[in-house]
């Protein structure tokens, strides 16, 4: 277990350092997120009444689609120089690769979310810096990264990976999308946390189940 955690830490360190230097994922995700926020800003007229309901949907759509760009990139960077084979040879257990990538994707998604929240607040004149709302985003991003990293590991070996990833991923994410939008909408509308508790439990359960199953099956997914 200690070896496994040691490898996960090394993988996350490497991925974040590489991303910080190249900014491959961050640039694409951030550019997409900003562009989408601007388009929504012109397209949707928000009134104080519908603002809370729609904000959660807009923010989650932006994060999900920007996240897809990042997911694709997270494994192709390994394929470029054939590094995936070297990783498989070096780690104590192949599931460490999944967990390391999942953590990196999660952290990158949260970082992009952190960047776009103030921009949203500025454009739509609505503060999203609410502890409950941020908790929902953290849980939602975890669920998204957990499922997305597994599917990205599957599709990276195919030629149609850019097309296959969203086709396979989005149906699996339906419960997450629903729970995030409902929970975040409720919180932004001023409902107490206990009112959206069921959605939060759903997100936590989804995250635990998908992460556990992915750790167990990742070796079979990436093998020949």
| Size of interface with other proteins, in residues (CB under 8 A) | 28
User: Does position 14 bind other proteins by CB under 8 A?
Assistant: yes
DSSP, collapsed to helix, strand or coil, labels residue 50 as coil
User: Does position 92 bind other proteins by CB under 8 A?
Assistant: yes
User: Does position 22 bind other proteins by CB under 8 A?
Assistant: yes
User: Does position 53 bind other proteins by CB under 8 A?
Assistant: no
Taking the complex as a whole, the smallest distance from the CB of residue 8 to other proteins amounts, in Å, to: 10
* In contact, 214 and 149? CB cutoff 8 Å: yes
Taking the complex as a whole, the smallest distance from the CB of residue 30 to other proteins amounts, in Å, to: 18
| Residue from 48, 129, 194, 224 binding other proteins (CB under 8 A) | 224
User: Does position 89 bind other proteins by CB under 8 A?
Assistant: yes
For the record, the structure tokens of 155 come out as: 């599709």
* H helix count then E strand count, the chain: 9, 0
Strand residue runs (E) in the chain: none
* In contact, 97 and 218? CB cutoff 8 Å: yes
* In contact, 127 and 117? CB cutoff 8 Å: no
Q: Quick one: 47 or 81, whose CB is closer to other proteins?
A: 81
- The angle that helices 131-155 and 197-222 make with each other, rounded to 10 degrees, is 20
Q: Quick one: 39 or 216, whose CB is closer to other proteins?
A: 216
- Rule CB under 8 A: which residues touch other proteins? 3, 6-7, 9-11, 13-14, 17-18, 21-22, 77, 80-83, 85-93, 223-224
């Amino acid at each position: 277990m200690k070896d496994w955690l040691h490898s996960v830490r090394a993988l996350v360190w490497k991925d974040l350092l590489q991303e910080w230097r190249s900014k491959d994922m961050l640039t694409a995700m951030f550019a997409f997120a900003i562009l989408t926020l601007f388009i929504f800003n012109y397209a949707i007229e928000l009134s104080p009444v519908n603002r809370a309901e729609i904000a959660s949907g807009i923010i989650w759509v932006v994060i999900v689609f920007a996240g897809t760009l990042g997911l694709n990139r997270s494994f192709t960077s390994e394929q470029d120089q054939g590094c995936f084979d070297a990783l498989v040879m070096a780690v104590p257990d192949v599931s460490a690769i999944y967990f390391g990538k999942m953590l990196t994707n999660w952290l990158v998604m949260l970082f992009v979310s952190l960047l776009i929240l103030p921009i949203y607040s500025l454009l739509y004149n609505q503060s999203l810096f609410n502890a409950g709302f941020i908790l929902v985003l953290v849980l939602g991003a975890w669920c998204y990264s957990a499922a997305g990293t597994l599917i990205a590991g599957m599709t990276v070996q195919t030629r149609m990976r850019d097309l296959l990833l969203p086709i396979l991923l989005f149906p699996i994410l339906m419960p997450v999308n629903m729970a995030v939008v409902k929970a975040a909408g409720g919180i932004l509308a001023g409902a107490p946390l206990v009112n959206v508790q069921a959605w939060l439990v759903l997100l936590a359960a989804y995250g635990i189940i998908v992460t556990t199953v992915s750790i167990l099956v990742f070796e079979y997914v990436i093998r020949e």
